[in-house]
């Protein structure tokens, strides 16, 4: 029992020494530590930027897709009951994402609101003396390829007698182009994420390797006096953890300040997307990613870089 207690005490003492040596290395090599933390900040900055860029990309893609729909216009004598029946049948189609019914009265209200600053249009509408607009269904599908099948069902299906026109073929080229742009944006985001992530890892690894190279004589002395590999490696791993935590703190602070001031300007180009709000909403996720990146790069890079000096 005493042997076990002694073993545990020795292990705890060794751990305290390793942590203390790691902290001393972090403080002692101030110039190199500052450079390492700076490079690590850049690496975490890149990874965090990719996360935020992905959020912006997802918003942009979603926004583009939300603008895509087709409208089916019903004949003047079509009753609301018949139109809602068509809507119910369409909503059961798995290719249909969303359907909105717009009555003739609502269509007129929207048209009047949209052109309220154009007196010529308003006067022309008044001269007509009646509501010239048709009731319609605005239909959104999940994929661009699904719109044609929906259009064919409407034009050639059991309700074709109710339908005045479907505007799919007038908008077909625009629909396909928007979905293609959305797909290209998503693919580009993945490619950039991979490239920047790889650059961040390589830069951080080489910087930490340089820091360990400057301590090669100290490592040699520790080996000569019989220190175990783990006792030699430990302080550098602790140093890597401290560097990662420090870099995470500075990166988070920089992002908070930058996004707070520049988010309104970004919202001018992406209306409806508040980048600072997105940052706050995903703060804990970002903190986890940053800590995982900083500590992970610091520990793994230190572990790999020091192997060379531990070989017999």
Nearby residues of 68 by Cβ (< 8 Å), 6 or more positions away: 140, 144, 174, 175, 178, 179
198 three-class SS: helix
Question: In angstroms, rounded to a whole number, what is the distance separating the alpha carbons of residues 147 and 141?
Answer: 6
Question: 242 and 266 in contact (C-beta within 8 Å)?
Answer: no
Q: Is the whole-model pTM more than 0.85? A: no
What does the pLDDT read at residue 309? 62
CA dist., res. 76 & res. 206, Å (int): 73
99 and 77 in contact (C-beta within 8 Å)?
Answer: no
With bands split at pLDDT 50, 70 and 90, how would you rate the model's confidence at 60?
confident
At residue 227, the pLDDT reads 65
What pLDDT is recorded for position 289? 84
312: pLDDT strictly greater than 50: no
CA 193 – CA 15 distance, rounded (Å): 37
CA end-to-end span of the chain, whole Å? 36
Asked if 262 contacts 53 with a C-beta cutoff of 8 angstroms, the reply is: no
List, for residues 74-93, the tens digit of each pLDDT value: 888 888 888 888 888 888 88
Q: What is the mean pLDDT of residues 10-16?
A: 63
For 83, what's the count of Cα atoms within 13 Å in the CB-facing half-sphere? 23
Q: Which residues pair with 100 in a beta bridge?
A: 138
- pLDDT bucket at 5, cuts 50 / 70 / 90: very low
How many beta carbons lie within 10 A of that of residue 104, not counting itself?
Answer: 17
Q: Where are the beta strands (DSSP E) in 29-169?
A: 70-74, 96-102, 136-141, 163-166
Q: What is the pLDDT at residue 104?
A: 82
The ranges assigned to domains in the chain are: 17-64+180-310, 69-143
pLDDT digits (tens, 9 = 90+) for 140-189: 887 777 777 888 877 777 777 788 787 766 666 666 676 676 667 667 76
């Amino acid at each position: 029992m005493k042997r076990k207690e002694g073993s545990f005490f020795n292990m705890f003492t060794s751990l305290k020494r390793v942590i203390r040596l790691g902290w001393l290395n972090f403080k002692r090599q101030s110039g190199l530590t500052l450079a390492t933390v700076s490079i690590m900040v850049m690496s975490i900055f890149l990874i965090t930027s990719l996360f935020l860029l992905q959020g912006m990309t997802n918003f942009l893609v979603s926004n583009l897709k939300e603008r895509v729909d087709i409208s089916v216009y019903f004949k003047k004598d079509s009753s609301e009951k018949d139109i809602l029946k068509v809507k119910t049948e369409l909503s059961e189609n798995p290719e249909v994402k969303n359907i909105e019914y717009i009555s003739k009265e609502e269509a007129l209200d929207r048209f009047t609101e949209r052109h309220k600053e154009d007196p010529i249009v308003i006067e022309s509408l008044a001269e007509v003396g009646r509501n010239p607009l048709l009731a319609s269904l605005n239909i959104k599908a999940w994929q661009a390829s699904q719109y044609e099948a929906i259009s064919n069902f409407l034009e050639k299906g059991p309700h074709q007698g109710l339908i005045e026109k479907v505007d799919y073929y007038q908008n077909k080229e625009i629909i396909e182009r928007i979905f293609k742009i959305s797909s290209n944006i998503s693919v580009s985001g993945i490619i950039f994420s991979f490239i920047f992530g790889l650059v961040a890892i390589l830069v951080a690894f080489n910087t930490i390797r340089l820091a360990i190279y400057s301590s090669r004589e100290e490592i040699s002395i520790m080996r000569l006096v019989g220190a175990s590999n783990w006792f030699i490696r430990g302080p550098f791993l602790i140093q890597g953890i401290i560097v990662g935590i420090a870099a995470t703190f500075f990166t988070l602070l920089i992002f908070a300040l930058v996004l707070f001031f520049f988010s309104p300007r970004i919202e001018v180009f992406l209306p409806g997307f508040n980048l600072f709000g997105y940052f706050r909403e995903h703060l804990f996720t970002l903190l986890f990613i940053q800590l995982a990146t900083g500590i992970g790069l610091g520990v793994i890079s230190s572990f790999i870089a020091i192997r060379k000096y531990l070989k017999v």
